[in-house]
């Protein structure tokens, strides 16, 4: 199965750690990161799409992506 996630977070080290943790679990960057201003929080936010291929598994709508 092919999995897709979109990680988001504040523009700080926690976002970088979130992406790094996903890379170390076998996820791959998909496309360019995004960066924008959150008007409500008055802060910058980051986003990064991630994909992962998992052999021998079938995707189900209740698949918890963070388990992979």
Q: Is a pLDDT exceeding 90 seen at residue 65?
A: no
pLDDT bracket for residue 68 (50, 70, 90): confident
CA-wise closest residue to 53 among 27, 20, 19: 27
Range in 2-6, 25-29, 51-55, 56-60 the model is least confident about = 56-60
Task: Encode burial over 10-43: b for 16+ CB neighbours within 10 A, e otherwise.
Answer: eeeeebeebbeebeeeebeeeeeeeeeeeeeeee
Neighbours of 4 (CB within 10 A): 11
Sheet containing 43-53: order of strands: 2-10, 43-53, 28-38
Query: Do the Cβ atoms of 4 and 50 come closer than 8 Å?
Result: yes
């Amino acid at each position: 199965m092919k999995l897709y996630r979109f990680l988001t977070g504040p523009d700080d080290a926690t976002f970088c750690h979130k992406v790094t943790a996903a890379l170390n679990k076998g996820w791959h960057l998909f496309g360019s990161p995004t960066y924008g201003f959150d008007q409500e929080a008055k802060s910058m936010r980051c986003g990064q799409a991630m994909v992962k291929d998992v052999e021998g598994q079938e995707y189900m709508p209740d698949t918890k992506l963070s388990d992979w």
